[in-house]
Structure 1
Amino acid sequence: MLDREGFRPNVGIILLNNKSQVFWGKRIRTHSWQFPQGGIKYGETPEQAMFRELHEEVGLHPEQVRILARTRDWLRYEVPEQFIRRDARGHYKGQKQIWFLLQLVGRDCDMNLRATDHPEFDAWRWNEYWVPLEVVIEFKRDVYQMALTELARFLPRTNHHNRYLRSGMRPHHRLDGPAGPGRRRGAPGEPADAGALESGGEHAG
C-alpha cells in the first residue's frame, strides 16, 4: 500500500529498558542492525500496527510495554534504487513512518525473537540511546535522528540524554566496550549491511 508519492506507511519502534537503553536487533542471517519496524496493513491504525510488529519481531505483548510517546507527523526516507526490488522500481520510493517510544515493563526474558514462523531478528542487544545513529545504514540516518530527537524529551526524567537535546549536541559513544546488563554478547554494533535490508524490513514487514 503506497501513497500517491510512492511512500509506504510504516511504523518504527524505539523500545527502552529501565536504564533508557534502546533495543537494537540484528536482522536474521545478515550483519544488518536496526530498530523494529514494519508496514501498516490496510485498515490498521499506526498503534495497532506497532503492537502487531512488536509481537512479530520481538515477541512482546501490549501489557509488557507502556507507550511513552509517538511522533506527531510522518517521518519519511527514500530508499536508494539499488535496494528496491526490481519489480517495485518506478512505484516504490521509500517509507513514511510513525515512530513510537515504548518502555519495557516486562523482563528481558520476555523477549522472543521466534514468536512467529518468520522471524526478523536472530540477535539483539541494549544500546545507549544515541548509538544507533552511528551504526544504522546511511539512508536511514536522517529519519533515525529526527525520531530520536523528537522523542528524547519523553525519556524518563532521571535519564541524562535530555541535556544533549537542549544543547543541540549529540553524544558519541564507544561501541567496543564490555557488554552491560541485558546485552547479548556476539552481537556487536556493526554498521548495517545494506544487502538484505529492503527484502524484509521494507517490503515484508
Structure 2
Amino acid sequence: MDAESLPYRPCVGVVLIDARGLVFAGQRIDNPSPAWQMPQGGIDDGEKPKEAAYRELWEETGVTRDKVEFVAKTHGWVTYDLPPELLGKVWGGKYRGQRQKWFLFRFKGQDSDIKIASEHPEFSTWRWILADEMVESIVPFKRAVYDQVIRSFRAYLA
C-alpha cells in the first residue's frame, strides 16, 4: 500500500487539565499493554474543530461543556503517519495517519464528573498525570505529536 497516496484523517485532540495543571490520561480499552492517551477523535462532516473537541471530550470522558473552560488551541494542524503494521488496517484503510487540531481545556468540575463508562468506551481507567509523563506514556508513533502539543501548551501545565 502506498501511504503517500492516502489523505490524513481530520481529527481533534483535547488536553484536559485540572486546577494543578495536571493532564487527563486515559488507558485505552482496546490495547492489551498499558497505552495511555488524551481524548481525541475524528471531525464529522461539516463540524467545526472546536465543536468536535467538545463532542469528543464528552463522548470519551462524560465531561460536558459547562465543566470546562477553553484556554488555547494549537496554531496549525499537527500530523502523524501510521506505522507500516497499522497502515490499511485502521479507519477502513482510507487514511495514512491523522491531521489534528488540539484544544486545551481547564476542567472546572469534580473528579466524579468524569465518566469513562460510556456506550462506546475508549478508556478502561484514567488518572491525572504530569505533561511529560503523558508524552512518555503514549504509543511511540504518536510521541512526536504529543511532544509538540505539550510544548505548545507548556505555559499552562504543571
What is the aligned-residue RMSD (CA, Å)? Answer: 1.7
2:143 is aligned to 141
8 Å contact from structure 2 (residues 30, 122) kept in 1: no
- Provide the residue aligned with 2:7 in structure 1: 6
**Structure 2 CA distance for aligned equivalents of residues 151 and 139 of structure 1:** 20
Regions of 4+ moved over 2 Å? 84-89
Q: For residue 48 of structure 1, what is the amino acid of its counterpart?
A: E
| In 1: Cα distance, 2:95 partner to 2:73 partner | 25
- Give the drift of 1:85: 4.1
CA distance in structure 2 between the aligned counterparts of 1:140 and 1:27, rounded to whole angstroms: 14
Query: Identical aligned pairs, as a percentage?
Result: 37
1:44 matched to 2:42? The reply is no
Take 1:85 and 1:62, find their aligned partners in 2: how far apart are those partners? 35
1:68 aligns with 2:63: no
SS at match of 1:80: coil
Q: Which has the higher contact order (CA 8 A, sep 6+)?
A: 2
How many aligned residue pairs are there? 151
Per-residue CA shift, 1:75-100, capped at 9, x if unaligned? 000001212344844x4110000001
Task: Tell me which residue corresponds to 1:124.
Answer: 126
Structure showing greater Rg: 1
Q: Which residue of 2 aligns with 1:58?
A: 61
More strand as a share of residues? 2
**Which runs of 5 or more residues in structure 2 are unaligned?**
none
Q: SS of the residue aligned with 1:131?
A: helix
Q: Distance in 1 between matches of 2:89 and 2:150?
A: 31
TM-score, normalised with respect to structure 2: 0.89
